[in-house]
Structure 1
């Protein structure tokens, strides 16, 4: 039996979050949590959450992982575990997006356009009918009118506007690097990175440290 994937879109940050469940056991996994709507869904369906997963350290919104962990932890058992590189493979986070959006920027801490190209190549080596669920969608900037949670490997290989089959690594790295250099930083990047690297917890001193803009002084 295939797992059931519930897709929940958070329009303020154009973020996808997911609840994946095995109906035979009612156990569920939550991926990239941001909102209380996840709790409502889990309660309505009677699911038992045994994992909270983050696909990456989000740079433009705050995770609700620790908040949900505190509410969902049973018998003192925490839900922390680092995943290996290839599990689960079909939730790609902020690496590639839907075909008409393309790829994610690579200029955040630890980002690298060459690494992103290699990640996309790895995703495209999956069976063509595999669904790739993405971390964001931005339909107002595309011909589509509603957010789309996934596309297939075959669709990505044929239609991804940045990474379709035939795109060379050198061309992608050059274009992505030049493009990223012209983009403004996300509005919440400084808050998000400090909180999300700690799975939703504040820094130890309880303070968010923000850079001071002294331009023009």
Structure 2
């Protein structure tokens, strides 16, 4: 099992990155919280990983902090939560906010994350409350706390540059509907923003 990769960050295309290590390029899916903490492309990086082998695919998920990987592994043990949904959950809530929501049985906050319906949120509370409460975590990084809410229908707004296209692609990959994501991106866009900054602003605006 691949548990950690140290190499050079070749590319970031949220929610995926590529790391070169030992002459091999590893495609890794990450939560937005971990992606925000990455260095610039071309710099050395170390990520903790979780390797998933399925009949039709081999998937690698990465985390800057080991504690996020620990919570990810608890999430995928819950009934109805696969690795991709777990990454979406960890993109929509920080580890600390997730533990708090589960601990206080805050179903209303959990269902704001794309792909998490009421039944799934209730299962998370029932199945994870005791397990997450036992985890010892470091102090939260408030800059990475990005609350999100569910989308509503809207008309499509097409991005007109690469930054907005990358941000839209990332939000859609995380489960947001394209029309809603487009509107939010347009409302917060500044031409000085990188795609990561735009994604961060869009997620914050979905409050």
Which structure: greater helix fraction?
2
Shorter-chain TM-score: which interval?
Answer: under 0.3
TM-score under structure 2 length normalisation: 0.27
TM-score under structure 1 length normalisation: 0.26
Structure of greater relative contact order (alpha carbons < 8 Å, 6+ residues apart): 1
Name the larger-Rg structure: 1
